[in-house]
């Protein structure tokens, strides 16, 4: 809680008090009655074939969410075949199983108001089923069937390919999309499973058959984690899961190897995409950070609050509020789960303030690097982070997803719950040390997408730059 010197208006507030309630100045309120928050307990079970299951019941609403994570992401797919794992994921939720195919499959889900979704990530593909609890016995087996024995209908594959083709064609539609696309390629490499995209030529390589092979090798019980939250009973759900997943046997074929997430990193420097006619310049800049198990991660969380992600951050108060240069300037230091995360900054400013914004960002970073954080910075960042801790677990589904996330990468499942105790003792000196050690302006890869003819000066004033052609990225 921030304490400010109260002002005369506070007195006016007092005189306005009505009934028994005394009106208080919000800056003077005392909330020391915070009690330690313990998130809802999640039970961890194992099916007979070794699949781990996380369970959290909540009977308020007649809804159930089932999450099935499969370690079969794009990271197992060579760059030339990009899209394989993603398309497989979509075709599973859209095309059904080999018993119950497309039409009947979708009818049975949508007719009951259910949603079955796939979120393909680089490492894992996450499936989720959201249904009324009374439909669990009917729909869970249906969804699992699709994951285990996908129908892979040719027609659905064609549809998915067309959808990818259409988004590929639109990849250079506007400066923002171009900046966000190219930035990750500069940081993680053009071929990185985290940055590359599906291309017409990689689409050509995807067939029913090759999808089937990929599925057989990589969709296997040892790659699966299950989570269930909502309105169910433990004994019954375990029985149901055992029936539909417990008999899944590990195949004899080896899974495809996981490739490197970072393939190459561009040299530090300025990368320019000239976009005639753009009225706003997109600036993306940053470099690789570290993994989440790095001891600096707690510092990074507080630094992110102070630097660029909160309403009291430098990005917000200086770039946006003080200088009115951008609508949603944003910056963060993330910790990657399996590979380093990034220190990143994203700003969109009108063409005629491009250099002004770049200079300002430079000043902000340099100031933090050399001066560290202020006492006020540290106090508010800590209070903010610590008191917002329960919001990380605001719903049962969030608790389940958190547990599944850390479990899958072999972190302690309560990784997040241990953070408050690591953040509390951080001092100004700790933060200053972090900033001076971690911030390296010379390491920045600065991507600028805008109409150079309308800039407030030549980008060359800012340093040597390389011009990029978005069609080559």
Site for another protein in 79-108 (CB under 8 A): 94, 99-100, 102-104, 106-108
Segment near another protein (CB under 8 A), from 120-128, 272-280, 285-293, 455-463? Answer: 272-280
Q: Are 401 and 67 in contact (CB under 8 A)?
A: yes
Strand order in the sheet with 52-57: 43-46, 52-57, 224-230, 63-70, 125-132, 115-120
Which of 201, 204, 394, 427 forms a contact with another protein (CB under 8 A)? Answer: 394
Which of 149, 312, 411, 465 forms a contact with another protein (CB under 8 A)? Answer: 312
| 443 contributes a contact to another protein by CB under 8 A | no
CA distance 224 to 70: 5
Segment near another protein (CB under 8 A), from 67-75, 168-176, 219-227, 432-440? Answer: 168-176
| Residues linked to residue 125 through DSSP beta bridges, in sequence order | 70, 120
| 19 contributes a contact to another protein by CB under 8 A | yes
Which of 44, 48, 213, 324 forms a contact with another protein (CB under 8 A)? Answer: 324
Minimum separation from the CB atom of position 24 to another protein (A): 6
Angstrom CA distances, 139 to 131, 287, 379, stand at: 8, 45, 49
| 17 contributes a contact to another protein by CB under 8 A | yes
3-state secondary structure of 105: helix
| 18 contributes a contact to another protein by CB under 8 A | yes
* Closer Cβ to another protein, 410 or 424, answer by number: 424
Tell me, by CB under 8 A, how many residues bind another protein.
114
CA distance 246 to 242: 4
Q: Are 228 and 237 in contact (CB under 8 A)?
A: yes
| 151 contributes a contact to another protein by CB under 8 A | no
| Residues linked to residue 52 through DSSP beta bridges, in sequence order | 46, 225
CA-closest candidate to residue 334, choices 362, 294, 282, 376: 294
Binding to another protein (CB under 8 A): which residues in 211-240?
Answer: 231-233, 236-237, 239-240
Which residues, at least 6 apart from 142, have a Cβ–Cβ distance to it below 8 Å?
A: 97, 100, 105, 108, 109
| 117 contributes a contact to another protein by CB under 8 A | no
* Closer Cβ to another protein, 110 or 461, answer by number: 110
Query: Strand 280-288 vs strand 342-350: parallel, antiparallel, or unpaired?
Result: antiparallel
Residues 274-303, one symbol each (x = binds another protein by CB under 8 A, - = not), give: ----xxx-----------------------
Which of 180, 384, 428, 443 forms a contact with another protein (CB under 8 A)? Answer: 384
* Closer Cβ to another protein, 171 or 205, answer by number: 171
């Amino acid at each position: 809680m921030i304490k400010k010197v109260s002002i005369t208006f506070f007195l006016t507030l007092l005189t306005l008090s009505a009934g028994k309630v005394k009106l208080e100045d919000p800056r003077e309120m005392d909330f020391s009655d915070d009690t330690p928050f313990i998130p809802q307990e999640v039970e961890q079970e194992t099916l007979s074939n070794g699949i781990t299951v996380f369970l959290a019941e909540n009977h308020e609403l007649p809804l159930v969410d089932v999450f099935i994570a499969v370690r079969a992401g794009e990271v197992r797919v060579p760059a030339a075949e990009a899209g394989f794992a993603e398309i497989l994921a979509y075709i599973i939720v859209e095309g059904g199983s080999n018993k119950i195919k497309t039409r009947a499959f979708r009818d049975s889900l949508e007719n009951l108001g259910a949603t079955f979704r796939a979120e393909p990530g680089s490492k894992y593909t996450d499936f989720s089923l959201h249904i009324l609890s009374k439909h669990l016995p009917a729909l869970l087996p249906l969804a699992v069937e699709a994951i285990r024995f996908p129908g892979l209908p040719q027609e659905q594959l064609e549809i998915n390919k067309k959808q990818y083709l259409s988004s590929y064609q639109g990849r250079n539609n506007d400066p923002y999309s171009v900046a966000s696309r190219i930035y990750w390629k500069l940081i993680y490499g053009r071929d990185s499973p985290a940055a590359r995209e599906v291309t017409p030529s990689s689409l050509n390589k995807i067939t029913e058959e090759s999808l089937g092979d990929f599925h057989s090798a990589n969709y296997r019980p040892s790659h699966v984690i299950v989570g269930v939250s909502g309105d169910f009973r433990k004994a019954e759900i375990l029985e149901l899961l055992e029936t539909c997943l417990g008999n899944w046997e590990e195949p004899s074929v080896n899974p495809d190897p996981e490739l490197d997430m970072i393939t190459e990193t561009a040299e530090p420097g300025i990368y320019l995409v000239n976009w005639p006619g753009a009225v706003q310049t997109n600036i993306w800049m940053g470099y690789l950070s570290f993994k989440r198990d790095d001891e600096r991660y707690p510092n990074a969380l507080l630094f992110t609050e102070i630097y660029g992600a909160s309403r009291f951050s430098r990005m917000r108060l200086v770039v946006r509020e003080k200088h009115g240069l951008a609508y949603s300037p944003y910056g963060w230091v993330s910790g990657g789960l399996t590979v380093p995360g990034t220190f990143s900054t994203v700003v969109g400013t009108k063409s005629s303030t491009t250099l002004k914004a770049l200079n300002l960002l430079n000043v902000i970073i340099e100031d933090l690097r050399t001066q560290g954080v202020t006492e006020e910075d540290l106090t508010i960042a800590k209070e903010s982070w610590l008191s917002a801790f329960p919001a990380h677990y605001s719903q049962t589904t969030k608790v389940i997803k958190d547990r599944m996330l850390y479990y899958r990468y072999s972190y302690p499942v309560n990784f997040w719950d241990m953070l408050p105790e690591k953040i509390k003792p951080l001092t100004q000196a700790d933060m200053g040390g972090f900033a001076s050690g971690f911030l390296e302006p010379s390491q920045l890869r600065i991507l600028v997408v805008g109409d150079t003819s309308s800039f407030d000066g030549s980008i060359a004033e800012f340093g040597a730059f390389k011009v990029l052609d978005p069609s080559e990225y």
